[in-house]
Amino acid sequence: MNLYDSLTDIHALEAELLDFERKYGIRSETLYAAYIEGEEPEDENWVLDFGEWASIYRTWLSRQAEYRNEVQRIRQSSSGLKGLIKVSYAAKSATLTGRL
């Protein structure tokens, strides 16, 4: 997965997380901490949502780590921020061209 695709994936996951946060009125990190500690939802109707929400958050954490690692790798081999933007822009252009 290139840098642009990772960023696109992160944004899509964040949109889903935001939907859950608005629905339940708490931040995703709060739900996730309670979920991994085994806390049960107050309402049976929330069980599926909480499972999906936790899964999306876990995927978001993973994508964030992948993104950070890739940024670090590119910055070290491509002359800092300028090289990073160049690589990311090229990946974006290739991705968008491939979709046409």
Query: What is the dihedral angle through the alpha carbons of 67, 68, 72, 74, rounded to the nearest 10 degrees?
Result: 10
**How far lies 81's CA from each of 44, 54, 77, 90, in Å?**
48, 33, 11, 14
Residues 6+ apart with CB under 8 A from 60: 10, 13, 14, 17, 28
Whole-angstrom distance, CA of residue 59 vs CA of residue 65: 10
Residues 6+ apart with CB under 8 A from 2: 88, 91, 94, 95
Structural domain range at position 72: 3-99
For the entire predicted model, the pTM comes to: 0.83
Q: What is the pLDDT of residues 55-99, one digit of tens each?
A: 999 999 999 999 999 888 888 887 777 777 887 878 778 777 776
Domain total of the chain: 1
